[in-house]
Amino acid sequence: MSAPRLRVVRGPSLDDPVTALAGVSDIYEARLEKIGVRTLRDLLLLFPRKHEDFSRVTPIGSIRPGMKTTVRGWIYHIAARETRYKRMKLAEATVSDDSGKLNVVWFNQPFLANQLHEGDEIFLAGEVELNGGLVMKNPDYEKASGDPKHAARLVPIYPETEKLTSRWLRPKIQSLLRYADELEEFMPGELLARRGFLSRAAAVRQVHFPESAQALERARERLAFEEMFVLQLAAQLAKRARKALTAQPIPFDETTARGFVKALPFTLTNAQRVAAWQILQDIARPQPMNRLLEGDVGSGKTVVAAMAMHHVARAGFQSVLLAPTEVLARQHADVIQSLLGPFQVDVGLLVGSTPAAARKPMLASLAEGHLPVLIGTHALIEEGVQYKDLALTVVDEQHRFGVGQRLAVRQKGERTPHFLSMTATPIPRTLGLTLFGDLDISILGEMPAGRLPVKTSLVPPEKRADAYNFIRQQVTAGRQVFVICPLIQESDKLGVRSATQELEKLQRDVFPELASRIALLHGRLKSAEKEAVMAGFQRGEVAILVSTSVVEVGIDIPNATVMMIEGADRFGLAQLHQFRGRVGRGTAESWCLLFTDAEDPQALKRLQAVVTNKSGFDLAEIDLELRGWGDLAGYRQHGKDFKMASLLDAVLISDAQNEAVRLLDRDPALDGEPALRRQLSAYRQVFALD
Ligand code: ADP
Ligand code: MG
């Protein structure tokens, strides 16, 4: 097989569409487009997922069953036939070399009998099996040459989607390798030399068709590094830009801090104390804070934020707290009101359903500076709320906000407000450093004292009735229960159907005696209806709350002791852990019951990890390893996916960060690195560098 040639006469440009390559039809153009490959450059940068090592060529006389190897021989005989049973079409061949003979069979590719001919010298790459005699089934094949693509080398395996096979991609990409020199080298020459990295062109060539395992390793190193380096550079630039902004300093006041802590109905955990201290120090500076407060559900983030808001109010400035949903905004307003009320700090609540009559005076008093604390949903941002002196913005569960929205919050006002985001999504430390390189992070790594761990079990199908009995006992004892349903059908985006079916099942078949105390929460309900359901649950009238995952159940119900999760295998581990955190908030013992029909050992292993692991951080890392980072909610919105770099590679991350700092110290505006500046533009949106 000869490599397809470029059709273009004037000499190819990597900006040409993929159809400039011979053998790329409109159909394939469309398939490539689906995975984001439009130009020859894109195709050249479509890296293999891994390689199969078929570099060893074994004489037929020496092959053994179970070996994965390449064989080089002559076709002695080849023919197509159809099996008698099942009428399967086969191509069968006998291949020989000086040392012996081997049988080969290809299923469903009878045309091979016409493509390959008796007397052809070929490579076969595959696994040797014992079936009567030694046989290779469906091996990769090609005419023997000094420049093989599918055998007798480290063979690239591409992400096979959208009907694009590695076999189809290999010759196309190989024919492009000679244009790799046209790829722009954007890494600083000094860095490349000092770290002994391959050039970009060499790395790209070697990552597709490596000369050796060592060459492949060096190529991967270089490509992973450049990816992480550009990201870290963008983060560092954002951080420096932020340092150049001015913010209202809120001087630390010991009396204010002590007074707040003293009035609390509990003592702060050490982690809360440290986080609060870090935040109060940050906001005392004339540059805007940019801090992420990370802590498991129930670790007590709200009170830490409230402490900062109290400080800001005492200094005569305003704060705003944004929650992802109305239900949560209300809960925050209640809690913060009760914390700040004793200090005569007023708290306003502004949500979508706030009537105009209440809204007007509130907006007026914000603009005049009479209202020091405002809490609400993102509807607030769209409102164009005017503050007199906004000094602090707090965002709860910020990953649910789009980048644009985050910025809108940040940029309000003349001085840049200090910015605190809170999340219960346990972001592994390395991931945090990577994605939020321009953020400082505080972690609440411990729970308030006296919390009992939630007992978690994976309930096998035959124990379902027992589990229902247990739930009945809990309800009889006055406790409350969450039931979470997964989204089963794609069409059922808001989970209306799955939750409704679950409700009917529970009311009719399982707990008929409790039917009137079972309520339903899903994404189709109007916000007033959601509020009513949640209020009923909060008052204890509703004993069992059936909900979809799309509905925020982040509300604090200390009396809820059972979290039952249907179809648990459909959720990410971090998400399951978050659900679990909804119970165990009071002093009573609580349970999390995971139900699944999955039999796949991998799925069961993941769920078992939730049973045995109490830490959301550990679970997030396990999930990242098992399923990749796409499943950690919200990270993809950062707009960048990694091809090479591992987000768990702490050494890579810190090396890249150090190099980024070093370069910027030397050349803060990257004047000497125009190519690198162009490369960075992909990140401008993510970090708002403009
Ligand atoms: P989250 O981090 O999930 O937002 P919250 O701020 O809602 O957690 O706190 C969960 C519950 O724990 C609240 O009822 C809060 O009053 C309580 N709490 C917070 N800090 C402490 C503490 N140090 N000791 C005891 N209870 C606490
Ligand atoms: Mg919270």
- Best residue for ligand 1 mutational test, from 538, 556, 577 (most atoms within 8 Å of Cβ): 556
Residues with CB under 6 A from ligand 1: 266, 268-269, 272, 295, 297-303, 424, 448, 556, 585
Percent of the chain with pLDDT over 90: 56
- Which of 176-190, 360-374, 393-407 has the lowest average pLDDT? 393-407
Ligand 1 atom at shortest distance from the alpha carbon of 272: 23
* Confidence check: pLDDT of 641 > 60: no
pLDDT in tens, 406-428: 444 545 557 889 989 888 776 66
User: Which residue's C-alpha comes closest to atom 15 of ligand 1?
Assistant: 300
Number of residues that this document lists for the chain: 690
| 483 SS3 class | strand
Contact partners, residue 150, CB within 8 Å, separation at least 6: 123, 125, 140, 141, 142, 167, 170
According to the model, what pLDDT value does residue 573 have?
84
Report the DSSP beta bridge partners of residue 102: 95
Mean pLDDT across 627-651: 55
Higher pLDDT, 7 or 529: 529
Query: Going by C-beta distance under 8 Å and a sequence separation of 6 or more, which residues neighbour residue 643?
Result: 47, 223, 227
pLDDT value at residue 687: 56
Measure Cα distances from 634 to 324, 403, 410 in Å: 13, 11, 19
Question: For the chain, percent helix, then strand, then coil, each to nearest 5?
Answer: 45, 20, 35
Mean pLDDT of 301-319: 97
Mean pLDDT for the stretch of residues 29-40: 92
pLDDT at residue 160 in the model: 77
Ligand 2 mean position to 422 CA, how many Å? 8
> Which is the closest atom of ligand 1 to the Cα of 268?
23
Predicted confidence at residue 452, as pLDDT, reads: 80
Mean pLDDT, the chain, as a whole number? 86
Least confident of 65-79, 95-109, 197-211, 613-627: 613-627
Buried b (16+ CB within 10 A) or exposed e, 430-461: bbbbbbbbbbeebbbbebbeeeeebebebbee
Ligand 2 centroid from CA 333, angstroms: 12
Distance between Cα 297 and ligand 2 center (Å) = 7
> For ligand 1, what atom is nearest to the CA of residue 297?
3
Which pLDDT value is given to residue 202?
97
User: 52 C-alpha vs ligand 2 centroid, how far in Å?
Assistant: 47
Question: Where do the H-state alpha helices sit in 589-649?
Answer: 601-612, 616-627
Is residue 688 pLDDT above 70, yes or no? no
614-637, pLDDT tens digit by residue?
A: 877 778 777 777 665 444 433 433
Phi, psi of 207 (to 5 degrees): -75, -25
Residue range 577-588, pLDDT digits in tens = 888 888 887 778
Cα 265 to averaged position of ligand 1 atoms, centre (Å) = 11
Q: pLDDT per residue over 496-537, tens digit each? A: 778 888 899 999 999 999 999 999 988 788 878 888 888 899
Residues 6 or more apart from 349 whose CB is under 8 A from it? 329, 330, 333, 374, 375, 376
| pLDDT given at position 529 | 86
- Ligand 1 atom closest to the Cα of residue 302 is 6
Task: Summarize the confidence of residues 366-385 as an average pLDDT.
Answer: 83
Instruction: Report the nearest-CA residue for atom 10 of ligand 1.
Output: 298
Q: Minimum-distance ligand to the CA of 334?
A: 1
Residue 640 has pLDDT above 70, yes or no: no
Low-confidence winner among 28-32, 53-57, 553-557 (lowest mean pLDDT): 553-557
Mean pLDDT confidence for 364-372: 94
How far is 400 from 395, CA to CA, in rounded Å? Answer: 10
Percent of the chain whose pLDDT exceeds 70 = 87
Q: Flag the least confident range among 64-68, 78-82, 482-486, 622-626.
A: 622-626
**pLDDT digits 0-9 by tens, 560-577:** 999 999 999 888 887 888
Q: Which residue lies with its CA nearest to atom 25 of ligand 1? A: 448
Kindly report the protein residue whose alpha carbon is nearest to atom 16 of ligand 1.
300
Does 241 score more than 70 pLDDT?
Answer: yes
pLDDT digits (tens, 9 = 90+) for 439-491: 788 888 888 887 788 999 999 888 999 999 999 999 999 999 999 988 766 66
Name the pLDDT band for 551 (thresholds 50, 70, 90): low
Predicted pLDDT of residue 297: 77
Distance set, CA 679 to CA 190, 234, 438, 670, 682 (Å): 17, 10, 18, 12, 6
Mapping DSSP onto H, E and C, the string for 569-603 reads: HHCCHHHHHHHHCCCCCCCCCCEEEEECCCCCHHH
